[in-house]
Amino acid sequence: MKIYLIFGCLIQIVASACPNGWLTHDGNCYHFSHDVESWTGAYTMCKILGGQLLEIDGATENQFVSSQVKISGRNYWIGLTDVNEEGSWIWMTSMTKLNYSNWTPGEPTALNVYKEIENCVLIYKNNGMWNDSPCSHTNFYICEKSDGVSEIIG
């Protein structure tokens, strides 16, 4: 009986590897904010929360995130920027170049209709696609971190 109880507790610990309020998907934890920040504010908040502003690795991750964004009905910042060099998009935390994208048709653009410089990227609530936007605008944001679960060998 004690073995079953211990095993049940271990399963519970593994199942709740992500902090409360974070969603788990494919080995990562995701926090969809309930507050708005500028892009740099979002970048900082994710660090404070123990993660990083979202870096999307491929279509599977993008599909998961986009579906959550569409359900929420909010635009969200992700960790992509060309602030260092116009048109050269990098993930700010890892400093890696963009190798997968899901841009809205016609995007990215250097300026918006108000002639504001657009160096930071958000995911649109209506279609789950990406758009560049002025970094000073405020939006919700998505943080990510590893779920911390590692395979036990032996």
Query: Residue 105: what pLDDT?
Result: 96
Residue corresponding to tokens 């309020």: 21
Query: Residue 16: what pLDDT?
Result: 55
Pairing of strands 28-32, 140-146: antiparallel
pTM, rounded to two decimals = 0.85
Which pair of tokens denotes residue 45? 């908040």
Residue 108: asked if its preceding bond is cis (omega within 30°), the reply is yes
Which pair of tokens denotes residue 95? 């400093």
Domain 25-146 has what CATH class? alpha beta
For the segment 106-127, the average pLDDT, to the nearest whole number, is 92
Domain ranges of the chain: 25-146
Per-residue CA distances from 120 to 83, 106, 112 (Å):
7, 16, 12
d(CA 84, CA 154): 47
